[in-house]
């Protein structure tokens, strides 16, 4: 029969016990002790001092099984049937009972002798010079590093758990702080830095350069017949002028406008250069030629450009005819535009504006031969017609899209023809019909734009 006993209270322990169920003493290793049951054979009482020495000796090796000294001697006595004094032992039941009582009385001692072997938690006092003072080493002294009881172990575990809780909280807080910092950094990046960077990149991207325009006045040399009847064979050298627009960047629209102006001027120059300068070369027919022409730029902005085209044509009669027309062009496409629509008026608004402006002018400078009603009626009936179509003006080579209107810095201007306001001597007028925003001029005022001229022939007419 084997068993383990607590070295502190002596209680018997189960084989797999880790703590004494009676006093809570921790058990590190249990060495089963062989217990000899009394069989009737006399057993010699064990010397307590010898048993104590035998129990102290194996304390350094807790793994070994320790057999108490009194058990060993009792076994030897049984084997030899002799008492410790050497006499044969014929032990009666009474003596056997006494021996068993003696064994029981020594059981506490034998249990104490097992203490150092059964519990490794109680170290022995250090031995010096190979000897140990068993009496000076208290067997019940516990290790300072290990708890003695189950309650102590539980308390130590609780203390360790409490020490771990703050660390877990700190780790959780650190992770939360890191996550919050990362999210804050993300929001700063997406809400502040990224938009600012995009705005900076947009600012650094160069905006499309705004096109600016300048105007150069160019001219063509022309040989003009003076008068085939009064001065046969006589010709006069002239310069006819036209504008050439320069853009700060390459512009197909501007190139198209320049080409249209130059081509129209060149066509008239070539016709005039080829015109006969004697009556016999005319073959008795009336030949109208252009004795002078000048195209002047009167208005330009970012969207449109407008020119005023003045010419003097003659058939060698008492006088020639001066005609002023206008034409606007889109700076986006280069195509001609009606000046009225370019200025922002409808045809009906333009007719009404012309009637009001002519009436206002005649109120200060009445016609010499015509009534105001007759002048207004005639002008409003023909003001929207193409000058080359049915207006009575001999314009052989007008600009495409030409009109009786042109745009100047003062506003929308209407140019009358000869005989419309009165006699030929009364002349023609260029009247402001719709002032521009911010203009100090008013409807009914005249606009004087003098074309550059160096024509001195007999048929020259004044611009007024």
Does residue 128 have a pLDDT over 60? no
The CA distances from residue 188 to 42, 178, 185, 195, 440, in Å, are: 96, 15, 5, 10, 56
| Nearest partner of 317 among 191, 445, 398, 418, judged by Cα | 418
Return the pLDDT at 133.
45
**Longest CA span, the chain:** 194
pLDDT band at 439 (very low <50, low <70, confident <90, very high): confident
> Which CATH architecture group holds 214-435?
2-Layer Sandwich (3.30)
- Round to whole Å and give the CA distance between 181 and 265: 76
Least confident residue range of 117-126, 427-436, 446-455: 117-126
The CA distances from residue 347 to 151, 325, 378, 385, 412, in Å, are: 112, 17, 16, 11, 13
Least confident residue range of 90-104, 166-180, 349-363: 90-104
Residue 404: HSE in the Cβ half-sphere, 13 Å Cα cutoff: 31
Structure tokens at 227: 């008068």
Does residue 178 have a pLDDT over 80? yes
| Nearest partner of 336 among 274, 393, 391, 386, judged by Cα | 386
Least confident residue range of 58-72, 156-170, 444-458: 58-72
Return the pLDDT at 179.
87
Return the pLDDT at 204.
56
- Round to whole Å and give the CA distance between 380 and 402: 17
Rounded to the nearest 10 degrees, the angle between the axes of helix 48-56 and helix 69-80 is 120
Q: How many CB atoms lie within 10 A of CB 164?
A: 10
Average pLDDT over the chain, rounded to an integer: 74
The CA distances from residue 102 to 98, 428, 455, in Å, are: 6, 164, 166
Q: What residue spans define the domains of the chain?
A: 4-143, 150-174, 214-435
- Round to whole Å and give the CA distance between 4 and 33: 7
Structure tokens at 104: 């029981």
Return the pLDDT at 396.
65
pLDDT digits over 228-237, tens only? 989 999 999 9
Mean pLDDT, residues 395-417: 88
Residue 82: HSE in the Cβ half-sphere, 13 Å Cα cutoff: 6
Cβ pair 428, 324 in contact under 8 A: yes
Selection from 4-13, 126-135, 168-177, 253-262 with the highest mean pLDDT: 253-262
Q: pLDDT over 70 for what percent of the chain?
A: 63
Least confident residue range of 20-29, 245-254, 415-424: 20-29
Q: Provide the sign of the torsion angle of the four alpha carbons 191, 193, 197, 203, taken in this order.
A: positive
Does residue 186 have a pLDDT over 60? yes
**301: Cβ contacts below 8 Å, ≥ 6 apart:** none
Torsion-angle region of 316 (φ positive above 0: left; ψ -120 to 50: alpha; else: beta):
left
User: Which residue do the tokens 């009792």 mark?
Assistant: 74
Does residue 275 have a pLDDT over 90? yes
* Rounded CA Rg of the chain: 68
Does residue 119 have a pLDDT over 50? no
Selection from 14-28, 127-141, 411-425 with the highest mean pLDDT: 411-425
Mean pLDDT, residues 108-134: 42
- Round to whole Å and give the CA distance between 88 and 285: 189
pLDDT digits over 52-74, tens only? 444 444 444 444 444 444 444 43
- Round to whole Å and give the CA distance between 140 and 167: 37
Mean pLDDT, residues 425-439: 93
Return the pLDDT at 84.
38
Q: pLDDT over 90 for what percent of the chain?
A: 39
Phi, psi (rounded to 5 degrees) for 33: -105, 135
pLDDT digits over 345-400, tens only? 999 999 999 999 999 999 999 999 999 999 999 999 989 888 866 444 555 667 88
Mean pLDDT, residues 164-170: 71
Measured at the alpha carbon of residue 133, what is the angle toward residues 129 and 138, in degrees to the nearest 5?
135
Return the pLDDT at 149.
67
Q: What is the DSSP string of 265-296?
A: HHHHHHHHHHS-SSHHHHTTS---EEEEEEEE
Mean pLDDT, residues 441-459: 70
Q: How many CB atoms lie within 10 A of CB 392?
A: 12
Return the pLDDT at 158.
60
Does residue 202 have a pLDDT over 60? yes
């Amino acid at each position: 029969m084997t068993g383990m006993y607590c070295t502190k209270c002596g209680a018997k322990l189960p084989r797999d016990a880790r703590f004494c169920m009676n006093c809570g003493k921790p058990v590190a290793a249990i060495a089963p002790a062989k217990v000899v049951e009394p069989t009737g054979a006399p057993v010699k009482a064990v010397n307590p001092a010898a048993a104590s020495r035998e129990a102290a000796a194996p304390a350094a090796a807790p793994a070994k099984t320790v057999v108490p000294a009194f058990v060993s001697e009792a076994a030897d006595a049984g084997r030899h049937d002799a008492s410790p004094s050497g006499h044969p032992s014929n032990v009666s039941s009474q003596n056997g009972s006494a021996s068993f009582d003696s064994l029981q009385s020594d059981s506490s001692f034998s249990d104490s002798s097992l203490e150092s072997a059964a519990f490794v938690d109680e170290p022995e006092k250090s031995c010096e010079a190979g000897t140990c003072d068993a009496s000076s080493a208290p067997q019940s002294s516990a290790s300072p590093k290990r708890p003695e009881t189950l309650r102590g172990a539980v308390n130590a575990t609780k203390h360790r758990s409490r020490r771990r809780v703050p660390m877990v909280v700190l780790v959780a807080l650190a992770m939360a702080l890191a996550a919050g910092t990362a999210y804050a950094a993300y929001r700063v990046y997406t809400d502040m830095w990224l938009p600012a960077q995009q705005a900076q990149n947009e600012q650094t991207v160069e905006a499309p350069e705004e096109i600016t325009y300048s105007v150069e006045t160019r001219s063509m040399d022309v040989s003009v017949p003076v008068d085939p009847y009064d001065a046969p064979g006589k010709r006069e050298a002239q310069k006819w002028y036209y504008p050439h627009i320069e853009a700060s960047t390459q512009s197909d629209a501007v190139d198209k406008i320049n080409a249209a102006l130059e081509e129209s001027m060149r066509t008239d120059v070539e016709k005039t250069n080829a015109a006969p300068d004697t009556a016999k070369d005319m073959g008795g027919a009336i030949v109208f030629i252009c004795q002078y022409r000048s195209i002047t730029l009167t208005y330009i902005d970012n969207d449109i450009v407008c020119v005023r085209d003045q010419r003097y044509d003659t058939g060698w009669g008492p006088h020639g005819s001066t005609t002023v027309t206008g034409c606007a062009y889109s700076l986006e496409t280069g195509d001609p535009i009606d000046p009225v629509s370019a200025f922002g008026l409808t045809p009906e608004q333009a007719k009404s504006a012309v009637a009001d402006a002519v009436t206002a002018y005649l109120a200060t400078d009445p016609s010499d031969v015509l009534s105001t009603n007759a002048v207004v009626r005639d002008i409003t009936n023909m003001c929207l017609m193409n000058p080359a179509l049915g207006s009575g003006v001999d314009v052989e080579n007008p600009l495409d899209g030409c009109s009786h209107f042109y745009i100047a810095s003062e506003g929308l201007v209407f140019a009358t023809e000869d005989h419309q306001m009165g006699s030929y001597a009364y002349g023609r007028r260029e009247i402001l019909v719709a002032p521009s925003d911010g203009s100090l001029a008013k409807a009914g005022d005249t606009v004087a734009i003098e074309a550059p001229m160096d024509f001195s022939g007999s048929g020259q007419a004044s611009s007024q």
